[in-house]
């Protein structure tokens, strides 16, 4: 009798279990606006931010909707210097020399894409001497063509062009004695990029007045004559120097006396501000500007010493220019430019502009304008001296600094 094997036990099927869902992948598109903007703060420069913001609509919307982010980014990343525009004899438009920074490809791309040849400006064969720069602020050039009696405000990066008429002739009404116009100044708004004002100053033998153009109204407004200046000029037609801008206001120093005419651009009112006596008649040695945090400052040179002064209450309780610091730059400049100084050379350190705490200056040998010289920058905060470019110049030049583009600002924004 053969033995029979019992059948194998049946395996009991277990009920199917629900498969666990894999966590959703986190991408940059799922980040909140606050976290995204914190990432954008770590970008190296303004051109890098522009490239990132234009990558998709959500990125652009996040940047445009936050004025507080705009302020924080500006505090961390100063607006970059793109290059210099130069007035050149015999040319109908200014020339441009870029700052070459290989470490920032986005900045290099911004230079390549800019209309630095100013091709959008109207061209007239019979207009002589052509277009001349009269001011440059926040990435916008203010140009004058006396042959066609046109004024142009032009941004070479965005290629936004505004053509303005000349100021009305009524500005000379009520003048006393000799009358002269001192050119034009450009005023921009950090809160509303794209809007601007243009100021033209005129004076008679002892008073000043201004006419103001607004891009909002597209019209000129004539301001009243000021009171008489505290020290009268010595019968000369020109008794004020070129305009300087600092902390949003405009300053014209007297050619011989120790004071400046000041235009408060908010109240549109003229006042007079004293200068130290050692700067009397020395307009080529000093300039007005502003620090990184917007404080009004006066920067001047004595030899290779660079001094910075602030308008504040002195030890006698009087508002005055108080020297805050001084920097001996001779050895550092000679080392940076790989230059030497001969005993017979009279080298002048000229301060050209002070913008956002950066002093733009150049050392040149007096008496030989044909020799090329180095254009330098000096940061008042870090005390860092930097070489910018090396070339000759025969007339005025203007640092060209990229501004916050209007494309990164929304119309309906929340703080």
- What is the rounded distance in angstroms from the CA atom of residue 212 to the CA atom of residue 49? 34
> How far apart, in whole angstroms, are the C-alpha atoms of residue 55 and residue 57?
7
Task: Kindly report the backbone phi and psi dihedral angles of residue 306, in degrees, each rounded to the nearest multiple of 5, phi listed first.
Answer: -110, 125
Name the 3-class secondary structure at 88: coil
Instruction: Determine contact, residues 167/149, Cβ cutoff 8 Å.
Output: no
Structure tokens at 225: 């004559």
Of 14-23, 192-201, 395-404, the one with minimum mean pLDDT is 14-23
Polymer length of the chain: 415
Q: What is the mean pLDDT of residues 30-56?
A: 93
- More confident site: 316 or 328: 328
pLDDT single digits (tens) 8-38: 666 666 565 555 565 555 666 678 899 999 9
Lowest mean pLDDT among 42-56, 295-309, 331-345: 331-345
**Gap between the Cα atoms of 270 and 257, Å rounded:** 17
Tokens 């966590």 — which residue? 23
Backbone angles phi, psi at 233, to 5 degrees: -70, 165
In this prediction, residues 348-353 reach a mean pLDDT of: 89
What's the pLDDT tens digit per position in 155-189? 999 999 999 999 999 999 999 988 999 889 999 98
- Axis-axis angle for helices 105-113, 46-53 (nearest 10): 80
Q: How many CB atoms lie within 10 A of CB 299?
A: 21
For residue 63, what are its two tokens?
Answer: 């940047």
Q: What CA dihedral angle connects 297, 251, 286 and 348, to 10 degrees?
A: 140
What percent of the chain clears pLDDT 90, i.e. is strictly above it? 60
Is residue 351 a contact partner of residue 359, using CB atoms and an 8 Å limit?
yes
Q: Of 128, 197, 207, 122, whose CA–CA distance to 173 is shortest?
A: 207
Q: Is the pLDDT of residue 232 over 90?
A: no
Alpha-carbon dihedral sign for residues 150, 251, 67, 47: positive
pTM: 0.87
For the cut 90, the answer to whether the pLDDT of residue 62 exceeds it is yes
Averaged pLDDT of the chain: 87
Structure tokens at 381: 């905060």
Contacts of 102 (CB under 8 A, 6+ apart): 108
Which pLDDT score, from 0 to 100, does residue 414 have?
42
With bands split at pLDDT 50, 70 and 90, how would you rate the model's confidence at 415? very low
CB 256 within 8 A of CB 280: yes
Which tens digits make up the pLDDT trace of 244-266?
A: 999 999 999 999 999 999 999 99
Minimal CA–CA distance to 85: which of 155, 141, 147? 141
With a pLDDT cut of 70, the percent of the chain lying above it is 87
Instruction: Provide the token pair at 368.
Output: 């030989």
Is the distance from CB of 95 to CB of 88 less than 8 angstroms?
yes
For 109-140, the pLDDT digits (tens) are 989 999 999 999 998 877 677 899 999 999 99
Tokens of 158: 């965005």
The tokens of 344 are what?
Answer: 């017979």
């Amino acid at each position: 009798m053969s033995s029979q094997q019992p059948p194998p036990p049946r395996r009991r099927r277990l009920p199917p279990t629900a498969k666990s869902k894999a966590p959703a992948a986190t991408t940059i598109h799922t980040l909140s606006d606050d976290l995204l903007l914190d990432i954008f703060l770590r970008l190296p420069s303004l051109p890098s931010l522009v490239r990132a913001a234009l990558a998709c609509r959500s990125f652009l919307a996040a940047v445009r909707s936050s004025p507080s982010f705009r302020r924080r980014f500006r505090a961390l990343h100063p607006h970059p210097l793109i290059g210099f525009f130069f007035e050149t004899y015999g040319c109908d438009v200014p020339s441009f020399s870029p700052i070459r920074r290989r470490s920032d490809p986005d900045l290099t791309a911004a230079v390549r894409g800019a209309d630095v040849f100013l091709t959008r400006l109207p061209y007239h064969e019979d207009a002589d001497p052509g277009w001349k720069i009269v001011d440059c602020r926040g990435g916008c050039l203010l140009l004058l063509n006396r042959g066609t009696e046109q004024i142009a405000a032009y941004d070479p990066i965005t290629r936004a062009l505004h053509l303005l008429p000349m100021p009305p002739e009524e500005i000379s009404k009520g003048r006393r004695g000799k009358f002269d116009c001192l050119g034009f100044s450009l005023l921009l708004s950090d809160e509303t990029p794209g809007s601007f004002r243009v100021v033209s100053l005129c004076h008679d033998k002892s008073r000043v007045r201004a006419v103001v153009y607004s891009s909002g109204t597209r019209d000129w407004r004539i301001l009243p004559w000021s009171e008489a200046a505290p020290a009268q000029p010595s019968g000369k037609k020109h008794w004020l120097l070129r305009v300087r801008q600092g902390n949003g206001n405009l300053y014209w120093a007297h050619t011989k006396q120790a004071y400046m005419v000041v235009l408060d651009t908010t109240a549109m009112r003229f006042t007079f501000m004293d200068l130290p006596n050692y700067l009397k008649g020395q307009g080529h040695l000093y300039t007005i500007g502003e620090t990184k945090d917007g404080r009004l400052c006066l920067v001047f040179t004595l030899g290779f010493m660079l001094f910075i002064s602030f308008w504040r209450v002195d030890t006698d309780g009087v508002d005055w220019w108080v020297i805050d610091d001084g920097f001996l730059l001779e050895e550092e400049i000679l080392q940076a430019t790989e230059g030497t100084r001969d005993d017979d050379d009279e080298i002048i350190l000229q301060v050209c502009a002070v913008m956002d705490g950066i002093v733009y200056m150049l050392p040149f040998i007096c008496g030989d304008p044909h020799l090329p010289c180095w254009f330098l920058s000096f940061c008042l905060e870090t005390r860092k001296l930097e070489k910018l470019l090396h070339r000759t110049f025969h007339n005025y030049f203007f640092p060209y600094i990229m501004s916050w583009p209007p494309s990164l600002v929304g119309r309906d924004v929340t703080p």
